[in-house]
Amino acid sequence: MKTMRSHETGGPETLKLDEVETPSPGKGEVLVAVKACAINYPDTLIIRDMYQFKPERPFAPGGELAGVIEAIGEGVEGYSIGDRVLAVIGNGGLSEKIVVPVGRMFPIPDDASFEKAASLLMTYGTTIHGLKDRGHISEGDTVLVLGAAGGVGLSAVELAKAFGARVVAAVSSEAKGEVAKKAGADEVVIYPREEMDKAASKELANAFKAACGPEGANIVYDIVGGQYSEPALRSIAWEGRFLVVGFPAGIAKMPLNLTLLKSCDICGVFWGAFTAREPAKFVAQVKELFDLMKAGKIDPLISETFPLERAGDAIAKLENREAVGKLVVTM
């Protein structure tokens, strides 16, 4: 079988397409023939040894996949050969076949494609946990979403609207703004890609404040970080919740006096650790996501698919912040 693996620390150009033996499932495991593997921000980090987890090389990136069960290990109940499943794993998804622990797997509804199923959990899963468990979202809240046209950003737009919030989408171009509006955003703010000086940062903060309204944003959903975090924090409401989700633009240094002046919270959203620490709540949220998908309230936007041999191109496109919605590698 073929697998796209990292043999050395570096960017997507260092990945190599290898031919390896097909693995066999052990106790509590199944062998999945992978049909689709979604690309996510951790994939850009893990190959550079910049992620929280550093697997032993060689390894395949890819933490979110969908496919068909091809073989079943000892002690596995509730699944059969031929079942359509999705799985969230640390890495390994950029392979034609992979062994998956049964506890990291979920059945796919008949009406969901492999591509959309593979695009659901790391984006919408992160966001439903962030908005509900960390942001305590309520109907009528105003939610400011930074990076609102990417996979996680669009999930935040859609879920916030599904939960009855007003959404302000912050993006880097007019075209991305149109994508966010189509997903349900009420207002759009365009922020600059170039480095901002103090005056430009203040101007962006004022634009966020104007879009969020006089009370400010009850929740800031920050997927971007860097120079955009402080202007967003300045637009937060009294007792608002600033959710730290990711930082492709860099790790922000926040003026903590603002948290006192707004009596607001800065909260981390570490979805991977949450799924391990609270598995019952995680499973319930997966069910809720499928219910929302079936009801038509969320619908993962897949902007481009890539064959396995071009998986590095997909990772590079996400790393360069050129992706709209989700990028998916198909087998």
- pLDDT tens string 222-257: 999 999 999 999 999 999 999 999 988 899 999 999
| Domain boundary residue, one of 254, 271, 288 | 271
Q: Are 138 and 168 members of one domain? A: yes
> Which helix (DSSP H) or strand (DSSP E) does residue 62 occupy?
none
What are the backbone dihedrals phi and psi of residue 312, each rounded to the nearest 5 degrees, phi first? -60, -35
What domain count does the chain have?
2
In a domain, 288, yes or no: no
Check whether residue 132 and residue 204 sit in a common domain. yes
233-255 burial, b for 16+ CB within 10 Å, e for fewer? bbbbbeebbbbbbbbbbeebeee
Mean pLDDT score of the chain: 95
| Pair 154, 256 in one domain | yes
Q: What's the rounded Cα separation, in Å, for the pair 75 and 26?
A: 9
Domain that holds residue 304: 2-120+300-330
Q: Check pLDDT > 90 for residue 27.
A: yes
pLDDT 10s digits, 90-130: 899 999 999 999 988 999 988 889 999 999 999 999 999 99
Residues 175 and 244 in one domain: yes
Provide the pLDDT for residue 52: 81
Of the chain, the percentage scoring pLDDT greater than 70 comes to 100
Under 8 Å between Cβ of 34 and 67: yes
CATH value at residue 205: 3.90.180.10
**What is the tens place of the pLDDT at every residue in 292-317?**
998 999 999 999 999 999 999 999 99
pLDDT digits (tens, 9 = 90+) for 268-286: 999 989 998 999 999 999 9
